[in-house]
Structure 1
Amino acid sequence: MRQELDITSQINALIGTIKSEKLDEVTRLQALSATRGLLETLESPVERIIQDVVMNPPILTSIRMGVQLGIFTQISQNPDHGVTAQEISERAGASPIIVDQFLRLLAATGYVDQIDAQKFKPSARTMIMANPNMEATTRACFDIGNCCASKAPEFFRQNQNQFPSSARETPFQLGLNTNLSYFEWLGQNPALAKDFQQWMALNQKATASWTDWFDIQKHIIDGFDFQSPDNVLLVDVGGGEGKYIQEFKENLSFSTAPGQLVLQDLPNVISAIENPPDVELMAHDFFTSQPVKG
């Protein structure tokens, strides 16, 4: 018993140390990897399986419903006084019982903080979830991805567990009840297409600029034919609104690099760009042959 208490004290002390110190990114990732090893050592296989198989699906549903009911937005806007389940249900026009049930799951998993029987304040996750890009990401991943995932066993059972023969014969078609490919379907569903683009923008914001870690000089600049200004230096394939090309243009080391820059995406994406970068815009489906050669 004494040894068990000592282990608990050591872990709590380590948590306190980490909270009080600002770790660099490399150290943080190394510590995170070590922490996962600690959790795996303490957690029984049955506990892990129950979490993955039994608990995760309703947790994902509660997060998606948190977006739909405006739970994260409402709670994040009242950090001092908090919000009651009744207030959330009234503003959402939803059943108080439904709101309460999802709030309990969100509180149990740290997505909101429960301060009273029916009152909630924002946690760190609440504030992130209230971000419009994160709300869009949640809708895109759940409304599309979960439909595909839930139908995958049935799809592979029907095709004798073989690899899909084309982009139009996948769990996506079964899950969304369509004959269209993923990107064709997005083109006909503008709301989720917009969510998808916001999801991609969120991914880009969450990572360091590619110009900081990719050897542009070696792989792009060196060996480029500078003789004609019309030669294409860089093509951003499926580039959305052109964030990667914009980062390239803004990097002072390459701001004067010669050659043309091309941004490619589907026609509906290209036509919807509100503030296009100063590059050539080209509608292109990357499942077809690349029109830019050389």
Structure 2
Amino acid sequence: MADSYTPPAEIAALVANVNKAAAGFEAAVGGDLHVARRNLQLEAQKLLYSLEEPNIEVWPRIFQVNVSTAVEILSNLGLWEKFEGGKTVSMAELLELTKADEIIIIRVFRQLTAAHIFVESPAGFTLTPLGLPYLNPDHRAFNNLMFFDIIPAIMAMPRTLAEHGYKAPTKESGTPYKWAHGEELWTWLGSHPDRALNMVAGMRSHNAGNVSGDAYPWGTELGKLNIKDGEVAVVDIAGGQGHIMEEVRKRNPEIKGKFIVQDLQSTFDAVSGPPEGVEFMAHDIFTPQPVKDAYIYYYRHIFHDWSDADCTTFLGQVVPLLKAQPKSKLLLVDLVLPDTNATMQDAVRDLSMFPIGGLERNESQWTELLAKSGLKIKKIWRGSEPEACVECELL
């Protein structure tokens, strides 16, 4: 995944500022102590923010609802592009561009500055490294998706869980999203193609700059398989509109064979056609897999959308093929959480899956889930992105 970490020299300067603030705090007495503590806190926060990978931090920030609200307002105002190239935009320019009341702009940018998305100077506002990802429309699409389609169901959870006796959702009860809105998210997206298209864009923000991730070494591993033209190299099951396989193709042009992306026909109808080097095939993951001889069956960001029972159902469409043809591999790309001490991002992403009936799993939960289908973990591949690639094999 392409990253944009703060350069080491800048971090060293921030460390020096923390040390200076710490010395001031140690020397402070009386009424100055509160000011010194606040100054040390701010300098420490700057250092912590400098150690984050900006693209990754977009996700947990979305769940700071005031911040995601301010991000959405800037999107509505069409302002993000005005900050491209490191440009500083003055308050006068912002007012001229938006025709908004000054107090609105002040309060929105106050929130975004506090979140370290912008830095304020007498000349105006400039994007920080943490703000640069919002120049990518995929990140803004994900903010929009979560803000309007998912977070309302999360906010309804205290009520809906109480109404359902704090029982985990089942296929019969429906998901918490359905509890809150009367229909399942996937059904709703099927009848709102504009929102489905927004979701596809939002999913690309998982790994901005490298949407396919680098956990699984496609070129090396597929190169070992001696795939020939005309054979099926990869079936990307529920693969959306092909953006993952498009990138795998571009990064590994030497790989032969077909790349097939399967999804519902309504997903494909939202675009003019498949990316170059990719074939579309309409398919429902809960029905028998029509491609019988692929080298790789691939699910990316799919298992976390579903319960163990549902995952076991659609695994049942693929496992018989693995038994029939030893050459085939099964790859599952999702988070593999630590068994204890999950990070804030881990926890945020897990709870955000709850309304649609899914969850993020730790290694023990992956092992338990796969065993129900006669599978085990062969290897967990990891790269720079949060997601891992779980390579499966038969028990």
Gaps of 5+ in 1: 1-8, 17-34, 40-51
Q: Does 1:185 find its partner at 2:188?
A: yes
Query: Could you tell me how far 1:126 is from its partner in structure 2?
Result: 3.4
Q: Which letter does structure 2 place at the counterpart of 1:65?
A: I
- For the residue of structure 1 that corresponds to 2:156, the secondary structure is helix
153-162 or 125-134: which moved more? 125-134
Percent of residue pairs bearing the same amino acid type: 22
Provide the C-alpha distance between the structure 2 equivalents of 1:168 and 1:69, rounded to a whole number of angstroms: 40
Check 1:168–1:196 CA distance in 2 against 1; reply closer, same or farther (3 A cut).
Answer: farther
Q: CA deviation at 1:106?
A: 0.8
Work out which of the residue numbers 259, 262, 285 in structure 2 matches 1:261. 259
Letter in 1 for 2:289: Q
Among 191, 209, 216, the residue aligned to 1:213: 216
Indicate the SS of the match to 2:64: helix
SS of the equivalent of 1:124 reads coil
**1:161 deviation in Å?**
0.8
Aligned equivalent of 2:90? 83
| CA deviations over 1:127-178 (Å, ceiling 9, x no partner) | 3213222221211122122112111222211111111112972222244x24
Which residue of the partner structure matches residue 31 of structure 1? none
Aligned residues: 243
Of 145, 163, 166, which residue of structure 1 is paired with 2:150?
145
For residues 114 and 167 of structure 1, the distance between their equivalents in structure 2, rounded to whole angstroms, comes to: 52
Gaps (5+ residues) in structure 2? 1-11, 20-43, 49-59, 293-320, 322-395
Equivalent position amino acid for 1:172 in 2: Y
Structure 1 pair 14–287 and aligned structure 2 pair: CA distance change class (3 A): farther
Q: Secondary structure at the match of 1:264?
A: strand
Relative distance call for 1:186 and 1:62 in structure 2 (3 A) is same
How much is the aligned-residue C-alpha RMSD, in angstroms? Answer: 3.9
The code of the aligned residue for 1:262 comes to I
Q: Is the 8 A contact 1:67 1:135 kept in 2?
A: yes
Counterpart mapping for 1:94-109 below 5 A = 94-109=100-115
Q: How far apart, in 1, do the equivalents of 2:218 and 2:126 lie?
A: 45
> Aligned partner of 2:244: which letter?
Y
Which of 60, 63, 67 lines up with 2:71 in the alignment? 63
1:273 aligns with 2:281: no
> Which has more strand, going by share of residues?
2
Matches within 5 A, 1:164-203: 164-166=169-171, 169-175=174-180, 177-179=181-183, 181-203=184-206
> How far apart are the structure 1 equivalents of 2:134 and 2:218?
34
Question: Deviation digits for residues 73-99 of structure 1, max 9, x if unmatched?
Answer: 33447815x221x54345334333222
Q: 1:104 to 1:14 in 2, by over 3 A?
A: closer
TM, length-normalised to structure 1:
0.66
Q: Is the 2:211–2:247 contact (alpha carbons within 8 Å) kept by the matching residues of 1? A: no
* Kept after mapping to 1: 8 A contact 2:218/2:252: no
Any idea what the Cα deviations from partners look like across 1:176-223, whole Å, max 9, x if unmatched? x242x2222112223322221112223244447557734777689759
Q: 1:130 maps to which residue?
A: 135
Query: In the aligned structure 1, how far is the partner of 2:173 from the partner of 2:268?
Result: 23
